[in-house]
Amino acid sequence: MTPTPSAGPDAADGGPDPSRPRGAGRLDDPAHMRALAHPTRLRILGLLRTGGPHTAAMLGDQVDEAPGTISYHCTRLAAVGLIEPAPEVGTDRRERWWRAVHESSSWDLAAALDDPERVLAATALNHVIAGVYAARWEAFVERAASFGPAWAAASASTDTVLRLTADELVSLGAEVQAVVERWRPRSDAHDAGDGSEQVFVLNQAYRWPGA
């Protein structure tokens, strides 16, 4: 599972941008999963991944939390290696800047099935993420009409029920993600103000839980 997308392209000089998240991080420790299983921390991590380094005050303005509360959550995320200080970004030493360490995180419930503690932690984290996804969709629905006809027509939501084996579902998910990845270079080539906007693409496919 990957909660948030890439933060953007490398620096203009062609070298790696130290403020950009690098690669994917793996969550296997139940304590690390529990640390992330908090709506505010998920939002902070998402903002740092998609928007680059922020201070606690900047994050607080977007999350609507006091800077002190944001600093606490940032410290918790840093303790488990999800974010880190970015001292080279700011010019005022009194400001503490934070950046995401990875551009995405993943964890495997199947690999945790023999460890009840990991199952509980992964399930709790998935519950929180499900709520974040639902809230994000509700926020879009609330504002969709204000984005204008082009974005209203471009946005899509669909669902389909198929009958597949577990292996076939794995293949389906990989094919869908491959399509998304083909669009990543186009995304990285865009800049703010060129008519593009951040878009949220959610890939979910799972066994039908029944009524």
Phi/psi of residue 33, each to 5°?
-65, -45
**8 Å CB contact between 27 and 105:** yes
Strand partners, 122: none
Reported confidence tier of residue 15, pLDDT bands at 50, 70, 90: very low
Q: pLDDT by residue (tens digit) across 61-94?
A: 999 899 899 999 999 999 999 999 998 887 777 7
d(CA 46, CA 62): 11
pLDDT value of position 19: 53
pLDDT value of position 89: 84
Is pLDDT above 50 for 5? no
Q: pLDDT by residue (tens digit) across 24-73?
A: 788 999 999 999 999 999 999 999 998 999 999 999 999 989 989 999 99
Residue 100, classed as helix, strand or coil, is: strand
Tell how strand 104-106 and strand 24-26 pair up.
parallel
Is pLDDT above 50 for 4? no
Phi/psi of residue 54, each to 5°?
-140, 160
pLDDT value of position 22: 64
pLDDT value of position 211: 55
pLDDT value of position 25: 85
In this prediction, residues 180-206 reach a mean pLDDT of: 95
Per domain, the residue ranges of the chain are: 24-154, 158-211
In this prediction, residues 189-202 reach a mean pLDDT of: 94
pLDDT value of position 210: 80
**8 Å CB contact between 16 and 10:** yes
- CA distances in angstroms from 107 to 77, 119, 145, listed in the order given: 16, 11, 36
CATH topology for 24-154?
Answer: Arc Repressor Mutant, subunit A (1.10.10)
d(CA 50, CA 73): 18
Q: pLDDT by residue (tens digit) across 127-165?
A: 999 999 999 999 999 999 999 999 999 999 999 999 999
In the chain, % of residues over pLDDT 70: 89
Reported confidence tier of residue 20, pLDDT bands at 50, 70, 90: low
- CA distances in angstroms from 164 to 41, 158, 161, 176, listed in the order given: 35, 18, 10, 15
Tokens of 130: 């499900």
pLDDT value of position 21: 60
Average pLDDT over the chain reads 87
Question: Which of 7-21, 42-56, 143-157, 168-182 is predicted least confidently?
Answer: 7-21
pLDDT value of position 138: 96
Residue 54, classed as helix, strand or coil, is: strand
